[in-house]
Amino acid sequence: MAGWLFVLSLAAAIVAVYKPFGDHLYRVVTGTRHSAVERGVYRLVGVDAGAGQSWGVYARSVLAFSAVSLLVLYLLLRVQDRLWLSLGMPAVDSHIAWNTAVSFVTNTNWQAYSGESTMGHLAQMAGLAVQNFVSAAVGIAVAVALVRGFAAREAGTLGNFWVDLTRITLRVLLPVCAVATLVFMVGGVVQNLSGGTDVTTLTGGTQHITGGPVASQEAIKELGTNGGGFYNANSAHPFENPTTWTNWVQLFLILLIPFSMPRLFGRMVGQNRQGYAIAAVMALLAVGSIALTVAFEIHGAGTVPEAVGTAMEGKETRYGVTNSAVFAAITTLTSTGAVNSFHDSYTALGGMMPMLNMMLGEVAPGGVGSGLYGMLILAVITVFVAGLMVGRTPEYLGKKIGARQMKLASLYFLVTPALVLAGTAAAFATGNAATALNTGPHALSEVLYAFTSAANNNGSAFAGITVNTPWWDTALGLAMLFGRFLPLILVLALAGSLAAQRPVPESAGTLPTHRPLFVGMVAGVTIVLVALTFLPALALGPLAEGLS
Amino acid sequence: MTAVLEKEPAVKPGLIDPRQFRSSLSDALRKLDPRVMWRNPVMFIVEVGAVFTTVLSIADPSVLAWTITVWLWLTVLFANLAEAVAEGRGKAQAAALRAVKQDTVAYLRDGRELPASQLTLGDIVIVEAGQIIPGDGDVVEGIASVDESAITGESAPVIRESGGDRSAVTGGTKVLSDRIVVRITQKPGESFVDRMIALVEGANRQKTPNEIALNILLAALTLIFLLAVVTLQPLAIFAKAYQTAAPDTAAIDAHGVTGIVLVSLLVCLIPTTIGALLSAIGIAGMDRLVQRNVLAMSGRAVEAAGDVSTLLLDKTGTITVGDRQATAFVPAKGVDLEDLAGAARLASLADETPEGRSIVALAGGEQGPMRGATFVPFTAQTRMSGVDIGDRQIRKGAATAVMRWAGKPDVAIDEIVDRISSEGGTPLVVADSDRLLGVIHLKDVVKPGMRARFDEMRRMGIRTVMITGDNPRTAAAIAEEAGVDDFLAEATPEDKLAYIRKEQRGGRLVAMTGDGTNDAPALAQADVGVAMNTGTSAAKEAGNMVDLDSDPTKLIEIVEIGKQLLITRGALTTFSIANDIAKYFAIIPAMFAAVYPGLDTLNIMRLHSPGSAILSAVVFNALVIVVLIPLALRGVRYRPSSASKLLSRNLLIYGLGGVVAPFLGIKLIDLFVQLIPGI
């Protein structure tokens, strides 16, 4: 009952903010006025805020910005011991620093380290938290550029990356985070610069309890679908996520931007119903996935779950099974990767669902920005296959889907499965999978999960494998890097090719892309073309374990 | 619906001639050459897989290995067969066109004699009665009647003369009378027939833009499944090593999944159905055009036809019958209707023009000469025609001419004449000697069924625009009656061109027909420009299609053929992808149930054994190609309707059907396959 209330109130809240928040996003990215602070930023970076960028320039700006971010974060982690607020932490090992820098710049937040024993406050605040903001803004900016491509008439430019980046950070992420931080502090999340307290426990031992700027980091961790926790235990830690209602707020923040992006899309292409259709596909897949995850966990198969009536292992009693399962589903349906329970301990099939969510390409609703552009690519592919069935060469929102568009869209959906499957196979072929603590199908699931999470920029872990070895740090780092930037370049190239086109006016002969039939088709294509690709691998992991 | 629209195609679609089939079979074998297969990435992968399993079967023979190998080869062969059959049908048609051109001798004006194939652009040839015209060109001197039945199928000879809009002649047609001098306008090997032949011959066929895009998607899918299958091996080895007690099966042993089974999985997952049929669908689409006597210059034009959203149609001959027809007799004051009708009939009995015939038909009676009567034919000077019977002189013709002839203007008649003119009709005044009897109302008659046709177009999202030289008032009246969406009155060639440009600026694709030299710029500008075969070579050069029947209504059919081609492609792609679901359920439990017995839960078809399951999936995958060849050649049934209706219908048949069919098919095949010893 409480579980139902939790889910339904969350859904109702997301539905309620769809319009107002989506409209706010629309105004932010389409407005013509620059605030004084923004003008200052543009002067500092040296950009002409009024100048549009072609897709190539836009892409180079994204890459240049991310490269600098990567370098700065890497250096910060390598020298944190010589800076303030290090709390006496040593410099981060080179391979962990590389992995972590890539992880946060790519909005993945895969954590090959344990926060409270590796990072000082400065590294957390000036390094990781900053990337939490800007990597989220980069994702949204790229999605906006793609939407501009659909909306444009014979245009050569896709807007200005620096303006998008600045505005999204200053007008969307920062204000919402400021409010959310206060809410979390009210809820009991810690927020201080304390170096930690040593306490004597009831049993007489001593324990070092770390404090820090947790609430502020928690806000952007969820809002930016980043997922990198201040503590190793992430959202299961009572200092990060103390109560059921802070848990609710966390999920709300995770879903807020991804589910509002379709509204922005609908507004920008001048047809709100197109936004509703995309939101509907996302909701359809999300509801199905959440329901299955919860069902698998509540009616958990296996010796222990059957004995106690449900699968409680690895879950916090303060959330219970439903709220944990919902969190697991949502954190992987988006590209968040925050966890409030231990996915590795889920029932075999329940643990397969987070994997499957990521394998879908994180499109329901996906990461901030990346969810929308991933979904639009799927819509393009659906239009191409199904659009032919109405007797016209395919078009989406008046833009023809020809050879170039198909080449870019096809490459896009090749990238992540290629990284996941090649990475997993390489781990087994090279013997690196042996670092898994388990054996058999569960070990396979753990390795498959790790690469799925990295390549899709999710960042959650099944855990159970020792990943802070140079091989794993490098392999997963590359998976994150390619998994983020290859699709991103392809999306911008697609945006460029769409923007240059003259739209075909809609008529009775046009494939309607806002009706339930099309919504169902996109969902179907997503499942058949994307999810089923992984079925052979899943058969040897969670399916083998769950169906025995 | 006119007779032309219902005309039966020369070759029944879907029909496969046994003799042609044998030659297609040998073509299919020849296409196994990897250099040819390379053009089709999906089937190339299947061929490579078949070679691989052949090697494995020789190294380690078993019934299962050999059976799967044979079926993999059959899969490739069936794909080649689909293309060969489509080509064969196209070639048969093209060969008929080409046959007439061979062995033609060209007599050049400078006295040389050349085989027709060696003529070059600008050669001047002389063609006399009884000779075959050696190449496409323009008459520069003389007039002749020409039998064009070889390419149009129309037996009545046509007149071709120098200058004007009837100067174009087509190679392969025969001069029946007189002598003409022709300037050759085609480069060798580039006549319409040559280009058409190139479009239906697979080897040299240029892929159309949409075909290229679809091929990219298919290649990407193939790549992704290749990856899924290849990366499965380390995982399978790991699983097998973990389950030490699991027995070795035909599908999996300590070295992982056997090569035969891996290839089977790959072939079943990659989109072989559409990959095999894609080129046949394209060729068959071209072929359907040829069957309707339309020659396309490129496949691109046929695809564009499906996308057309504005049709420019000439009023005369397309929307209206083309000849004005008598629709009413309006008697003058004090004249009986009977008298007027009788006089009009008498005046027209010997008048063989369509107008004359329509007057007789309206008045009632048989056409034919009358004894004792002298027919007075129409001349440009008198502007009237009629008949003299004894001392009765009956005339019908232009109002002013007849009234002047009768010698007395009549205000009442003038009023009738003005009213008919303002309604878009043509008045013919009838006089019996000096008595003005009344007026015949001649009207442009809209062809029966056109209104319904235009409604249909509107539902398909296509705007129809009537082009006419009439004044705006007349044009509006006819446009209203025909039910077109827009009209262009008093249209000059420049107006047409401007209208096309305007539509194209709005992002719409425009199709039009034309025949005159002054239509050439508009034909070139239009996305689909259909030139009439009777038109000038300038027009034919500018357009991207030529209608050998010179029937402007054909444009509507061309649009439908374009749409049908795209729908067939989409439907079979959807079907092919949807098929994968069942194949996963057949093969995955077959591969791994021995290692993890729980996976047998996925064997929802309850297939007999791992071997029979894999073989059944492979056999189904091959047979479905054969089963769908007729559909690929004939095209998916197309009925004009809105996009959303088409989508629901086709999605139900090919999407849902594609999910369900293989479950039934594989199960059925499994029931037979399990009887083979050793499977």
- Written in H, E and C, the secondary structure of A493-509 is HHHHHHHCCCCCCCCCC
Asked if pLDDT for residue A78 goes beyond 50, the answer is yes
Residue B175 pairs with which residues in a beta bridge? B146
Q: How confident is the model at residue A374 (pLDDT cuts 50, 70, 90)?
A: very high
Q: Quick one: pLDDT at residue B16?
A: 62
Q: Which of B615, B581, B613 is nearest to B600 (CA)?
A: B613
- Asked whether A438 and B247 are in contact (CB, 8 A), the reply is no
Question: Which among A391, A439, A535 has CB closest to B646?
Answer: A391
Task: Give the tens place of pLDDT for each residue, A438-453.
Answer: 888 999 999 999 999 9
Q: Quick one: pLDDT at residue B100?
A: 54
Q: Whole-angstrom Cα distance, residue B512 to residue B522?
A: 8
3-state secondary structure of A518: helix
Q: Quote the minimal CA–CA distance from A457 to chain B in Å.
A: 20
Residue B392 pairs with which residues in a beta bridge? B389
CA B61 remoteness from chain centre: 50
Chain B CB contacts of A521 under 8 Å are: 651, 655
- Asked whether B168 and B540 are in contact (CB, 8 A), the reply is yes
Model's pTM, two decimal places? 0.89
- The residue behind tokens 């071709």 is B160
Alpha carbon of A448 to those of A358, A420, B376: distances in Å? Answer: 11, 7, 96
**Nearest chain A alpha carbon to B649:** A389
Q: Quick one: pLDDT at residue B97?
A: 62
Q: Quote the minimal CA–CA distance from A384 to chain B in Å.
A: 8
Whether B596 contacts chain A with CB within 8 A: yes
Q: Quick one: pLDDT at residue B93?
A: 72
Question: Which among A385, A389, A505 has CB closest to B506?
Answer: A505
- Asked whether A311 and A358 are in contact (CB, 8 A), the reply is no
Alpha carbon of B86 to those of B200, B303, B452, B481: distances in Å? Answer: 8, 18, 34, 43
Alpha carbon of B287 to those of A293, A331, B228: distances in Å? Answer: 53, 54, 38
- Asked whether B175 and B146 are in contact (CB, 8 A), the reply is yes
Put simply, the answer to whether B227 touches A421 (Cβ < 8 Å) is yes
Ranges of beta strands (E only) in B41-142 are 105-107, 113-115, 124-128, 137-141
Chunked into runs of 10 residues, chain B (679 residues) has average pLDDT values of 36 60 89 91 96 96 95 97 88 68 76 82 88 86 82 71 80 84 80 67 74 94 95 94 90 92 96 95 89 84 90 83 83 88 88 83 76 80 85 88 84 87 83 89 84 87 88 84 91 88 91 83 91 80 85 86 94 95 95 94 95 96 96 91 91 96 97 90
Put simply, the answer to whether B216 touches A512 (Cβ < 8 Å) is no
Q: Whole-angstrom Cα distance, residue B540 to residue A509?
A: 29
For an interface test with B, the pick among A390, A447, A494 (most B C-beta atoms closer than 10 Å) comes out as: A390
Percent over 70 (pLDDT), chain A? 100
Whether B459 contacts chain A with CB within 8 A: yes
Q: Quick one: pLDDT at residue A99?
A: 95
Q: Quote the minimal CA–CA distance from B461 to chain A in Å.
A: 4
Whether B207 contacts chain A with CB within 8 A: no
Q: Quick one: pLDDT at residue B364?
A: 82
Mean pLDDT of chain A: 94
Q: Whole-angstrom Cα distance, residue A224 to residue A228?
A: 10
Give yes or no: B314 in active site.
yes
- Asked whether A231 and A116 are in contact (CB, 8 A), the reply is yes
Task: Give the tens place of pLDDT for each residue, A114-142.
Answer: 998 899 999 999 999 999 999 999 999 99
With a cut of 0.85, is the ipTM above it?
Answer: yes
- Give the residue-averaged pLDDT of A29-55: 94
Q: How confident is the model at residue A481 (pLDDT cuts 50, 70, 90)?
A: very high
Helices (DSSP H) in A270-335: which residue ranges?
272-298, 303-308, 320-333
Q: Considering the candidates B314, B470, B527, B551, report the single residue annotated as catalytic.
A: B314
Q: Quote the minimal CA–CA distance from A432 to chain B in Å.
A: 12
**Dihedral (C-alpha) B80, B86, B89, B90: value to the nearest 10 degrees?**
-110
Chain B CB contacts of A417 under 8 Å are: 224, 227-228
Chain A CB contacts of B265 under 8 Å are: 536
- Asked whether B284 and B635 are in contact (CB, 8 A), the reply is yes
Q: Which of A203, A494, A517, A541 is nearest to A359 (CA)?
A: A541
Residue B252 pairs with which residues in a beta bridge? B257
Alpha carbon of B270 to those of B230, B421, B583: distances in Å? Answer: 13, 67, 11
- Asked whether B538 and A350 are in contact (CB, 8 A), the reply is no
Put simply, the answer to whether A403 touches B307 (Cβ < 8 Å) is no
**Nearest chain B alpha carbon to A439:** B242
Size of interface A-B (CB pairs under 8 A): 223
Give CA angle at A343 (A357, A245), nearest 5°: 90
**Nearest chain B alpha carbon to A430:** B234
Q: Quick one: pLDDT at residue B478?
A: 86
Q: Which of A219, A386, A476 is nearest to B647 (CA)?
A: A386
Question: Which among A389, A401, A543 has CB closest to B567?
Answer: A389
